[in-house]
Amino acid sequence: LKSLVNVKLLNLVGTKISDRGLAFLKNFKKLEFLALPMQITDLGTVLESIKNLEHLELFGSKVKKFRFMHFTFAHLTLRHGVKVRDKTLKNIRNFRNLRSLNISGTDVTDNCLNYVTNHPLINSLNLQACRNITPAGLTRISKQISVNI
C-alpha cells in the first residue's frame, strides 16, 4: 500500500478493513474521495491528516460518533444503515464547505430539514428511502435546495 500514497479515490466498501486498518490512510495525503464499509465504527483521528478529503461516504457504517466538525468535506454521504437522526444533523452548519448531503435510507424526520436549509452552502440533498420525511417537509425544503427523493 505504500506505493499508493498518491491515490485520489479510494472505495473500501466490500472489503474487510477494520478500524485499526484505517491507520494506513494517514499516508494518503492526496486522497479526495473515500468510501468506507459497514464494519467501521470509529474514524478516530485518521481522517484529520487527510486535508484534501472532499467526499466521504459511509454505507451502513456503525460509526458511533460523528466528529467531522473540523473537516472541510464538500460532499458527505451517510446512508442505509448509518445511524443518522435529527440530532446528528443539529451541528451541520459547522461543516463550512458542505455543498451536498446524502442521508438516504436514514431515520431523519422533517425536523432535520430545518438544520439543512439553514446551511449556507448546501445545494443538494438526497432523501431517498427516508420514510419519516413527509410531503409537507419535502415541499418546504424543495423551494430552497435541490432534493433527490
Question: Which one-letter DSSP state was computed for residue 137?
Answer: H
- The lowest-confidence range among 1-5, 97-101, 115-119, 139-143 is 1-5
Residues 130-147: tens digit of each pLDDT: 999 999 999 988 888 888
**Chain-centroid distance, C-alpha 80:** 12
The CB density around residue 137, as the number of other CB atoms within 10 Å, is 20
The answer to whether 149 and 138 are in contact (CB under 8 A) is yes
For the question of whether the overall pTM of this predicted structure is more than 0.75, the answer is yes
How far apart, in whole angstroms, are the C-alpha atoms of residue 25 and residue 34? Answer: 10
The answer to whether 120 and 98 are in contact (CB under 8 A) is no
